[in-house]
Amino acid sequence: MSNGRSLTDPVGGCSKGTGSLIAEVMTYRQGAAKPKKTALANVDVAISGLTQKPPQKTAGNGRTTPFSGLTPGAYTVTVSGSGTMKDTYDFDNGMTSSTKEVKKGKTQSYYFEVPWFWLEHEVKYPDGKTFVEGVDWVLYHKSPSGQTDFTQHSTGTTAGSTISLDKIPQGQYKLLLKVVYDPSADAAEAVIGTPITLKAKISGFDVGTAGTIDICDAHAPGTALKTLNGSVSENQAGQRELAISWTPAKADLADLKSGRIVFRPTVQGKSVISAPLPMLNKETYQVVDQDGANLTTNITIRFSGGHIVDERAVNGTVDIVYPWNQTVARMNFPGQNGTRISLDEGGIPTRTFSTPS
């Protein structure tokens, strides 16, 4: 009779003269004032010593089943993680190996603690106390294993407290708020027919993300007079921006009343509004005498709003730039006393002026 034992292993399962060991792995948030430890399941546990045993994984309670039938002596227990667990828990710097004596008839316990990786971030006003709430953010990650570029890890919205992210992969992190800010133009004023570049700095949006810039009356910024389409790009300084070149046309601004515009860059619902820019008309005048000959002459024009332009017509042509919605009130042609001069203002029938004798 075999008495329940294998005939090929007559001492199998017998614990007489042998011992056993059990491993327990706990995890916690490194750096916490009073760390709360919890069981860590699915950890690889290997032993080495006089008796060889296959490795195990910890169960939900963080423990292995007993490694039994061990010849008494020193045994080294090593714990390790694999896959995402190795990235999330600090096996490299935690206590992951221990050597103890296993005695016959006894079960030796091996206890390990492996901290997890974590990150906190918060957004506050300049007072350093008040949280900024309701701002979307995106967190980028770059692993330490030779990865060259950051990739998106997670997104969220700022709250009235510190935001904690526990058990995240080790590596470098970059937090960006998803905002559109610092609108600017490459000119101090917008002029009909003259290109102007409008732009804003961008944070938290990838290059190529679609965006728009609305042109609005400074006195009615909620209504777009003209919408320009573009996408997020990266300038030579490495700053992401939405930059669009616009050549103003009178047809774009038929409903402009105030004579000043603002522009509103927008990317995926995030927007900012610029400071007002003066809007100027630009007209090319043809100046000829009573015989139709082109004149080269100085010209002074006073407009209805009090604006004064001093220019010189050369071979009968002069460009006049003046504020939006102002009209010509008076003209002087020094050096042309007693001459009748015809002036063709764009969009207005030709008018003839008699200069004083």
User: Could you tell me which of 81, 63, 74 has the C-alpha nearest to residue 98?
Assistant: 74
Q: Check residues 134 and 286 and name the one with the higher pLDDT.
A: 134
Give the model's pLDDT for residue 215. 98
8 Å CB contact between 327 and 308: no
| pLDDT at residue 197 is higher than 90 | yes
Give the model's pLDDT for residue 217. 97
Q: Check residues 284 and 18 and name the one with the higher pLDDT.
A: 18
Give the model's pLDDT for residue 290. 78
| pLDDT at residue 354 is higher than 80 | no
Give the model's pLDDT for residue 3. 38
pLDDT category, 13, cuts 50, 70, 90? very low
In angstroms, the first-to-last Cα distance of the chain is 144
> What does the chain come to in residues?
357
Q: Check residues 332 and 343 and name the one with the higher pLDDT.
A: 332
The type of residue at 252 is D
Q: What is the mean pLDDT of residues 249-260?
A: 93
Of 127-136, 144-153, 206-215, the range with the lowest mean pLDDT is: 144-153
Spatial separation of the C-alpha atoms in residues 323 and 279, rounded to whole Å: 6
258: its two tokens: 């105030």
Report the chain's C-alpha Rg in angstroms. Answer: 40
8 Å CB contact between 273 and 260: no
| pLDDT at residue 2 is higher than 70 | no
8 Å CB contact between 329 and 304: yes
The type of residue at 185 is A
* Topology agreement, domain 19-116 and domain 180-275: yes
Which element (helix H / strand E) includes 155? strand 151-157
The topology under which CATH files domain 19-116 is Immunoglobulin-like (2.60.40)
Spatial separation of the C-alpha atoms in residues 336 and 294, rounded to whole Å: 13
3-state secondary structure of 52: coil
pLDDT category, 348, cuts 50, 70, 90? low
Residue entry with tokens 């190996």: 97
pLDDT category, 6, cuts 50, 70, 90? very low
- The full set of domain ranges for the chain reads 19-116, 118-177, 180-275, 281-354
Spatial separation of the C-alpha atoms in residues 171 and 153, rounded to whole Å: 11
Give the model's pLDDT for residue 303. 84
Q: 71-83 pLDDT, tens per residue?
A: 999 999 999 998 8
Q: 273-285 pLDDT, tens per residue?
A: 999 999 999 888 8
180-275 belongs to which homologous superfamily? Macroglobulin (MG2) domain (2.60.40.1930)
Q: 149-165 pLDDT, tens per residue?
A: 889 999 999 999 999 99
What is the phi-psi region of residue 304: left when phi exceeds 0, alpha when psi lies from -120 to 50, beta otherwise?
alpha
267: its two tokens: 């990317």
Give the model's pLDDT for residue 311. 87
